[in-house]
């Protein structure tokens, strides 16, 4: 089968699942940590037994998401925010183990189909858990009208961002669901997470070793696209319509 979607090493995502559990443990609701263990187990099962001729969903379901602890007005520095909120993260990636051509041995998978990580911020309002913000982080396919890596704001029943409105598609980094978890925690716990994430520790070094090379490859690709000698017309539209090679984020 022709490979169109991005390729990732299984072992890198499995490692990422382990590291986020320990790296962000004190910021995550411990009652929801088992979903990370289940995500890791599911990915291992897909690697060993998933069909290589079609995709299998790898997911943390929206009705059973990973959840942060309560942010007590910490989304502003010095605790000056108005809201006491929690973040939840769920995702679905349609993936296919690769055992073909240069990708023999089921060591890699292709992302081919849905690739959406959904983030919700919820607040306790009159005893009920109310969603006050929602966005998703997406990896597009070869027909995607937005940038290949983008975020979509919305999902509500009415304005300002009803489900029927599929714009804006905001440019985003190349994010796995686990990097999205760090993004959410960093937004909800401005001071505490900055101190934690910028400290030199075993866990931050493990996290940096995963994401440093991946982000470098992503930014190098964007620079090549935006400043290429053959650009005609708008650099932004060139970047928006660019589609990466499948091996963009896969070290060989």
**pLDDT tens-digit readout, 62-75:** 999 999 999 999 99
The closest of 125, 131, 129, 150 to 140, measured between CA atoms, is: 150
Q: 78: helix, coil or strand?
A: helix
Going 41 to 42 to 43 to 47, the CA torsion angle's sign is positive
Q: Give the residue-averaged pLDDT of 210-237.
A: 88
Q: How does residue 252 score in pLDDT terms, banded at 50, 70 and 90?
A: low
Which pLDDT score, from 0 to 100, does residue 1 have? 66
Q: Tell me: the pLDDT tens digits for 189-211?
A: 999 999 999 999 999 999 999 99
> How many Å from the N-terminal Cα to the C-terminal Cα in the chain?
20
pLDDT of res. 154: 84
Cα–Cα distance for residue pair 29/97, rounded to 1 Å: 31
Alpha carbon of 180 to those of 111, 119, 125, 174: distances in Å? Answer: 17, 8, 26, 10
Question: For 143-191, how does the pLDDT look when each residue is reduced to its tens digit (9 = 90+)?
Answer: 777 788 999 898 888 888 888 888 888 989 989 999 999 999 999 999 9
Confidence band of 122 (pLDDT split at 50, 70, 90): very high
Q: What are the residues whose beta carbons fall under 8 Å from the beta carbon of 124, sequence distance 6 or more?
A: 84, 130
165: Cβ–Cβ under 8 A, 6 or more apart, which residues?
Answer: 154
Q: Report the chain's C-alpha Rg in angstroms.
A: 19
State the pLDDT at residue 164: 87
Q: Model-level pTM? A: 0.92
Q: How would you write 193-220 as a 3-class SS string?
A: HHHHHCCCCHHHHHHHHHHHHHHHHHHH
> What are the residues whose beta carbons fall under 8 Å from the beta carbon of 226, sequence distance 6 or more?
235, 238, 239
Structure tokens belonging to residue 249: 């984020």
- Reported as a single tens digit per residue, the pLDDT across 74-120 is 999 998 999 999 999 999 999 999 998 889 999 999 998 899 999 99
Q: What whole-number distance in Å separates Cα of residue 23 and Cα of residue 35? A: 16
pLDDT of residue 144: 76
**pLDDT tens per residue across span 1-47:** 678 789 999 999 999 999 999 999 999 999 999 999 999 999 999 99
């Amino acid at each position: 089968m022709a490979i169109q979607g991005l390729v990732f090493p299984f072992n890198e995502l499995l490692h990422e699942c382990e590291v986020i559990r320990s790296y962000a443990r004190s910021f995550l609701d411990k009652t929801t940590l088992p979903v990370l263990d289940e995500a890791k187990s599911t990915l291992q099962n897909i690697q060993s037994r998933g069909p290589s001729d079609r995709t299998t969903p790898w997911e943390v379901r929206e009705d059973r998401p990973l959840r942060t602890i309560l942010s007590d007005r910490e989304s502003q520095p010095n605790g000056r925010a108005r809201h006491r909120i929690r973040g939840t993260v769920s995702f679905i990636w349609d993936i296919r183990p690769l055992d073909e051509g240069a990708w023999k041995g089921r060591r890699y998978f292709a992302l081919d189909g849905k690739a959406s990580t959904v983030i919700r911020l919820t607040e306790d309002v009159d005893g009920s858990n109310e969603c006050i913000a929602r966005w998703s982080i997406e990896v597009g396919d070869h027909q995607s009208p937005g940038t290949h890596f983008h975020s979509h704001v919305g999902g509500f029943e009415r304005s300002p961002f009803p489900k029927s409105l599929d714009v804006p598609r905001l440019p985003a980094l190349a994010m796995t669901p686990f990097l999205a978890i760090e993004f959410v925690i960093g937004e909800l716990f401005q001071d505490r997470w900055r101190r934690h994430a910028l400290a030199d520790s075993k866990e931050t070094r493990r996290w940096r070793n995963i994401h440093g090379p991946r982000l470098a490859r992503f930014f190098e690709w964007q620079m090549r696209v935006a400043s290429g000698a053959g650009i005609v017309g708008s650099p932004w539209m060139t970047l928006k319509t660019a589609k990466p090679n499948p091996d963009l984020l896969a070290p060989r």
